[in-house]
Amino acid sequence: MQPPEYKPRSVRELLTEMKDTSDLIVDLAYAALLYESKELAELVHRLESKMDELMYTIRIMAAVAARNVKEAQKITGILQVASAAEAISNATGDMADLISMKIGIHPVIKDALRAADEKIVKLKISPGSNLDGKSLRELRLPSSIGVWVLAIKRKNEWMAPVAKDALLLAEDELVVKGPLYGIRIIHEMAGTPMEPFTIGTRLKKLRNELAKMRDLSDIAVDLAYSSLMLGSTEVAEEVREIEEAFNKFNYRAWLDTLKIAAEEKKNITELNSILQLARSMESITDAADSIVDVVIRKIELHPVFAKAISESLEKICRVKILPGSRFVDKTLEKLNLWGTVGVYVLVIKRGNKHIITPGGNVKLRANDIVIVRGSFEGIEKFQKEACSVCELSGATK
Amino acid sequence: MTMTTYSMKRILGESYPVLILCAILSLSAGLILHSQLESIKTLPLILVMVPPINGINNNVCSILGSRLTSALHIGTIEPKFGKQAILRKNIQATWIMSLGVFIFTSVIFFALSLISGINLLKSLTIMIAFFLASMAAIGVTMFCTIWLAFTSFSKGLDPDNVVIPIVTSIGDIAGVTCLIIAMKIIGV
């Protein structure tokens, strides 16, 4: 690789960009699989090589920045996290390879991706619709319906990452992610009917395992970053637990796939794609584990972490629900925080108990501490309605 | 690209331009001192003041320069003047550091003047003049240090080879000039 030209960019800026890119590239890789889109696979590969360049640059800047042993110890932590972000992007590259190398994608993969909590959808904007001619800045999709625009296709070219103030035009194709509720609304806004979210009933067990694995690997990464930002070994331990849960599903998914292969003795390439996907998701979860390793090792965390993560696109924040908030004693299902405020509840901490990725029937109580993920505006709204302030600024900007 | 990291050619190539600039700057400092030969003859103590004011000034600002370039690379400071907590803390620390050392040296000069037979009032004036000169010199050098650190980061120059040598040379000029101006104003 040619060394890129020197640009004055600090380790902090580079780390923020690496986190944003790794968040984005995972979702785009799933989109590429869902739609068996060669173009999206190519976009993933493009972002992957951008990630290599970022990794190269952050190594250079980190090497220049260290001046003494103590500082250097803290900086190795930064490089470890950067490598993890790069490992995530490499894993997505492997997923995209399934498409580019024309390895058949097993239908259960698509079913699993559709069944996961977070939906990823490709849609087209109709002329004269509510999205036509609007800028993302004025639409505020993440903080109102929890939907993020990941990529835009215009004039036959996919663009990602999308600028904060990008203008949407008729005939643009978008890749978006969000909760089902928000995905429905965005289809209405775009003036295109939503393809029915039919999830095949074949191989139900395997499908559920894969869907669970996708959700868990996502959450593991988010929590890993939050443990880093909060400097919390508790959250780091949770990531370890999630990884264990993931590994169980992973083991079962491999067994089930191999059983099917042994029984059917056909479609072996397609079945192989399931194993490849499982392996990629495992690499993503492993990356989360190597991020929390930095926290658990108990070397003092570099202050750059909190800053870099708080400046990334998707913020993570710890908010206390105070008595008197409208959230108290309501179930998450009823509150629909993801679809209306755009925040996703990762963990509820109640006393000494942690509820990881609480289901819809869980009620919020006064004095609960919740760790949420969302846009800056969404988190701000959430804090206000929780009658609280962010305990550690995921949203200081 | 191999083997060039510490090659003789690179060390010389990078250092010569900077060192020549430093030589010119330090020479100017010497010339400024020379131009004031007459006043120095009346108070040779000024000559004793030159090494401490330059030495302390340069050391304190080199420390600042090297801390700043690290902070810029890691990203705790951004390369712009203006409100930044960590930049402010660094500047404050540098002030406090130099304040302590210069108060100490000022007192020593007060004692030296007394010992060398200068009367109390004049010794006091000399002490104050030295103290003010050193504070002014630190101010000027510190500003140049911050600016140089920003520039070396934006342009990707080696902070050790560029910032520190130039800072020390600027410190020489600032030290000598401030010392002479202070002595003139107070009328020593």
The 10s digit of each residue's pLDDT in A141-186 is 888 888 999 999 998 899 989 988 899 998 999 999 998 889 999 9
Distance from CA of A123 to the nearest CA of B (A): 39
A residues 40-79 closer than 8 Å to B (CB): 61-62, 64-67, 71, 75
Going by C-beta distance under 8 Å and a sequence separation of 6 or more, which residues neighbour residue A345? Answer: A332, A337, A338, A357, A358, A370, A371, A372
**Residue A13 with chain B: CB contacts under 8 Å:** 75
Domains of chain A with bracketed CATH: 314-392 (3.30.70.1450)
- Chain B CB within 8 Å of residue A1 CB: no
B29: nearest Cα among B173, B181, B186? B173
pLDDT greater than 70 at residue A394:
no
Q: What is the pLDDT of residue A276?
A: 94
CB pairs under 8 A between A and B: 44
Query: What distance in Å separates the CA atoms of residue B114 and residue B127, rounded to the nearest whole number?
Result: 11
At A15, is the pLDDT very low, low, confident or very high (cuts 50, 70, 90)? very high
Nearest to A175 by CA among A133, A190, A98: A190
Beta bridge partners of A318: A371, A392
Say which residue, A253 or A304, is predicted with more confidence.
A253
A295 band by pLDDT with thresholds 50, 70 and 90: very high
CA distance B80 to B83: 9
CB contact under 8 A, B78 and A304: no
With DSSP H G I counted as helix, E B as strand and the rest as coil, what are the percentages for chain B, rounded to 5?
85, 0, 15
pLDDT digits (tens, 9 = 90+) for A297-336: 877 888 888 888 888 888 888 888 888 888 888 898 888 8
Report pLDDT for B4: 47
- Give A356's strand partners: A347
- How confident is the prediction for chain A on average, in pLDDT? 88
Architecture of domain B44-186: Orthogonal Bundle (1.10)
CA distance A122 to chain B (A): 37
pLDDT averaged over consecutive 10-residue blocks of chain B (188 residues)?
58 82 91 87 86 92 90 89 88 92 93 89 90 94 93 83 88 92 81
Q: How far apart are CA B73 and CA A10, in angstroms?
A: 5
Which position has the higher pLDDT, A14 or A117?
A14
Rounded to a whole number of angstroms, the distance between the first and last alpha carbons of chain A is: 35
Average pLDDT of the residues in A278-283: 96
pLDDT for B178 equals: 93
Residue A7 CA: distances (Å) to CA of A54, A138, A311: 11, 32, 20
Alpha-carbon distance A7 to nearest alpha carbon in chain B (angstroms): 7
Whether A307 has its CB under 8 Å from any CB of chain B: the answer is yes
Q: Using an 8 Å CB-CB cutoff, list residues of chain B that contact chain A.
A: 66, 69-70, 72-76, 78-79, 153-156, 159
- Both tokens assigned to A95: 């997923």
Contact B172, B29 (CB under 8 A): yes
Residue A361: per-residue pLDDT: 85
pLDDT above 90 for A349: no
Q: Could you tell me if the ipTM is greater than 0.90? A: no
Question: Of A121, A263, A245, A272, which is closest to residue A195 (Cα–Cα)?
Answer: A121
Residue spans per domain, chain B: 44-186
Q: Alpha helices of chain A — where are they, by DSSP H?
A: 11-35, 38-65, 69-100, 107-115, 136-139, 141-144, 180-190, 204-230, 233-264, 268-296, 303-310, 332-335, 337-340, 376-385
Residue of A nearest to B152 (CA): A8
Instruction: State the Cα–Cα distance between residues B85 and B64, nearest whole angstrom.
Output: 15
Confidence of residue A277 (pLDDT cuts 50, 70, 90): very high
